[in-house]
Structure 1
Amino acid sequence: MKPEISIAGRQIGQDFAPYIIAELSANHNGKLETALKIIEEAAKAGADAVKLQTYRPDTITLDSDADEFKIKGGLWDGRTLYELYEEAHMPWEWHKPLFEHAQKIGIPIFSSPFDTTAVDLLEDLNAPAYKIASFEAVDLPLIRYVAATGKPMIISTGMADAEEIQEAITAAREGGCKQLAILHCVSGYPAPAEDYNLRTIGDMIERFGLVTGLSDHTLDNTTAIASVVLGASIIEKHFTLDRNGGGPDDSFSLEPADLTALCRDSKTAWKALGQVDYGRKSSEQGNAQFRRSLYFVKDMKAGDVITEDCVRSVRPGYGLAPKYLDRVIGQVVVCDVCANEPAKTCSFVLS
């Protein structure tokens, strides 16, 4: 039996269409109105859920400019961790209006908590699920605390090796989590497609036996859609109103038209998987006339012997298959036949 979980009544697993999460992250750019608009656009695009990140700079790092607290290279080069998270964090007083707005327009909303106080806040808002961010996958006490809520949990696995993933899973189970999913992830921002090694998804499904998906930081939808073919049941992508908005995460996020395409195309890929089936498909039924089959090419009377010049392999395909040609030649017709009639066994006895 394939594993599955449920979030806000939506079943998630390989037997269901991919579950698309629009990650709001820091793309609010300091404006509550922008965050509200992102939720609206995610719902319009067809996303299954919106996800926030719940932390304060002092719950995720220390206010230090020591060398190890400075970011080297990449999008945020030269900034301290505290500076980045001060700019990027979602003010806690925004959470209630964001949850209320999402409920009003009918899209589930949940978050990634980064410490226990964030979990407590989200519990007060009755979050339907929790996401553990990749860098927190090694924070086993946090995972156990989240698990104790009894809510579904999704764990991203960026930078975690197989042993660390198993430790996170064990902590979740020990903490009481009954509905658990994991996401293959590359913690690069953005991440090149060639780093994703999507074949890992199949191994994760077999190795850990959980609903498995993809947290995708590539710049387009190709990797995410390909992951569906390999068994991904969840796709998470960062989402923004404008990729050129200047925020910390804008440049590697999807815009509304991109998210719409992801929601549509990932479901198309899932439908195309279907099942093992060598039979004629419904869309092929009208195309029998384009197959070849055996047709009489001259008039014949009952008792005549079928010779090579009496039948041919032609289109359409309503007669016997061409593979029977050698067996048809030499047979005696049992009734009168006319040229351009299909050769069928009712016209002769096929020995």
Structure 2
Amino acid sequence: MGAFDNLIIFEMANSHQGSVQHGINIIKEMGKIARKYNVKAAVKLQYRDIDSFIHPDYKERTDVNHIPRFMSTKLTFEEFCELVEAVKEEGMVTISTPFDEQGVTWCIEQGLDIIKIASCSAMDWPLLEEVASSGKPLIVSTGGKTIADIDKIYNFFTHRNCDFALLHCVAEYPAPFGQLQLDFIDKMKKRYRDVPIGYSGHEDPDDHMVSMMAVAKGAIILERHVGLPTETITLNAYSMNPKQADRWVESIVMANDVCSLKNEDTKYITQAEIDSLNSLQRGVFVNRDIKKGEAIARKDVFFAMPYTEGQMTSGDFYDGVVASKDYRVNNAVIEKKYTSNIKSVRSVIHDAKGMLFEAGIAIGNQFEIELSHHYGMQNFRQTGAIIINIINREYCKKLILVLPGQKHPMHMHKVKEETFQLLYGDLEVMLDGQKLNLKPGDIQTVLRGQEHSFTSKKGAIFEEISTTHVKGDSYYLDPEIAKKDLIERKTIIKEW
């Protein structure tokens, strides 16, 4: 699990009133909640070197926003160290938001787990340079930032090889429901595919619907301000007391449970779900006596409930199924489902279309599909590839789809030189005995005469750019494949 996965951040409201003991009390309350729900939680502090952060002429001013609060909540480095130790003792992740370069130094010296950049500092380039050089995982809030601004932030940290996450945020305190724009999480996930996306909320602290919606949108980091009211301390309109924070965390846990796939690669279907649907399906019954070996036509059957286990359903039935035994009128038809290479090909084509849709790759309508089934169509999902031939001139362009768990056998080309660029998924390439694990965007050239094969764990789509493709220029190392005619190991499809 990465530094950002399923991370819940408790941000200390109003700098814990500038009191170390009050801060420790808040930390302990949040620790109880984290343990109650067994979540990965963090407490976030805020660091400013007040002596240099505020202009000397303004330190005593009470008419300038934030300055009186910052002055009254000032803590020393040693006092912040006490709070950091308290967070560690509660078994939580340590985070701080530095608002100046000295704050970054404190984060490093204290060995904090993560550095958080506030929305107001997200384009403070001198500060960001300091943060980027820290080597720490970074979380950046994007409140008040346009998509062009966020692009700059993304590129800034990407160019510096930083491990960072982005938080959707609306920098109004409190933030009205009509301004939350949670759909923007969708856009961020599509636009910044390699970066974790989260949500930092400032809405009504009694609300827990928004957090559930954010999880459903794909946010893997959730952040809220928290505090601890006392006889003398009243929380602001966007900060949660421990009871509200408890309900907030509970809602996140519930939403993750509701939204999460039981199998990360595909939809999990329970036996209870299958049984429920089977109880409503129509089974196939004969309307006349049928002899063993006789072909059963559509006119010979009727569809009705209840369906019984092992029986053909109305969806399984095909005209001409051969009876494997005698049937008497009204008997349930128990025969094998129809299988053929055509059905297998159609299933593969549907999978290929789905992969392209999921990857967001459009291929137009000028192409030819080639299924390479080196050991027969019946073994295609284990060995083979789907090749989409798009251009074949002096230059050649193909898209190659590898199904999950599928392998394309070792071979080489004498005439063609080719270059792969992985567009989607994971791809392991064996090239002259060297194993190469490609990630999206990676490029690998295969020279003439180089032996190569490829496989994918979860499925892959890669582009192949090459010199002109020449039929018969693939030389396979396995003699069983090498002796086959092209017609035996290729199926060409003009339309899908």
Q: By the TM > 0.5 criterion, same fold? A: yes
Residue in 2 that maps onto 1:345:
335
- On the 8 A contact 1:158/1:185 being kept in 2, the answer is yes
Q: Which has the higher contact order (CA 8 A, sep 6+)?
A: 1
Instruction: Identify the residue that residue 110 of structure 2 maps to in structure 1.
Output: 125
> 2:314 matched to 1:322?
yes
Structure 2 match to 1:7: none
1:24 is aligned to 12
Query: How far 1:301 sits from its partner (Å)?
Result: 8.1
1:252 matched to 2:252? The reply is no
Q: Quote the Cα distance in structure 1 between the aligned partners of 2:298 and 2:132.
A: 79
Determine which of 211, 218, 231 is the counterpart of 1:231: 218
- Contact 2:9–2:41, Cα closer than 8 Å, also in 1: yes
Task: Give the match's secondary structure for 2:17.
Answer: coil
Matched with 2:173 is 189
Match of 1:75 in 2: none
- Could you report, residue by residue, the CA deviation over 1:179-206 in whole angstroms, capped at 9, with x for unpaired residues? 1222111111111222121222232233
Distance in structure 2 (CA, Å) of the matches to 1:332 and 1:128? 68
Percentage of identical aligned residues: 22
Which AA in structure 1 matches 2:166?
Answer: I
Contact kept, 8 Å, 1:306 with 1:333, in 2: the verdict is: no
Q: Which residue identity is paired with 1:253?
A: M
Instruction: Name the CA distance, whole Å, in 1 between partners of 2:128 and 2:24.
Output: 28
Mapped partners of 2:104, 2:198: distance in 1: 23
- Determine if the alignment matches structure 1 residue 293 to structure 2 residue 282: yes
Q: Post-superposition shift, 1:313?
A: 0.6
Q: Look up the SS of the partner of 1:26 in the other structure.
A: helix
Q: Cα distance, 1:141 vs. partner?
A: 0.5
Matches within 5 A, 1:151-230: 151-172=136-157, 176=160, 178-209=162-193, 210-219=195-204, 220-230=207-217
Q: Identify which range, 58-67 or 224-233, moves more after superposition.
A: 58-67
* One-letter amino acid of the structure 1 residue matched with residue 85 of structure 2: E
User: Given the alignment of the two structures, is residue 11 of structure 1 paired with residue 2 of structure 2, yes or no?
Assistant: yes
1:59 and 1:315 mapped to 2: Cα distance? 79
| 1:51-104 CA distance string (max 9 Å, x none) | 11112555544326486x2xxxxxxxxxx4211223455554331122212222
* RMSD of Structure 2 on Structure 1 (CA): 3.8
1:109 aligns with 2:94: yes
Match of 1:48 among 33, 41, 64: 41
Is the 2:290–2:328 contact (alpha carbons within 8 Å) kept by the matching residues of 1? yes
Q: Normalised by the size of structure 2, how large is the TM-score? A: 0.55
Provide the TM-score with structure 1 as the length reference. 0.74
Name the one with the larger strand percent.
2
Q: Deviations over 1:204-262 (max 9, x none)?
A: 23334422211111122322322233332221111234599844546432634224314
CA contact (8 A) 2:47 2:98 kept: yes
Distance 1:188 1:59, change over 3 A: farther
Give yes or no for the alignment of 1:149 onto 2:134. Answer: yes
What amino acid sits opposite 1:213 in the alignment? G
Question: Is the helix fraction higher in 1 or 2?
Answer: 1
The more displaced of 307-316 and 224-233 is 307-316
Q: Distance in 2 between matches of 1:169 and 1:181?
A: 9
Flag structure 1 segments of 5+ consecutive residues without an equivalent.
1-9, 70-79, 347-351
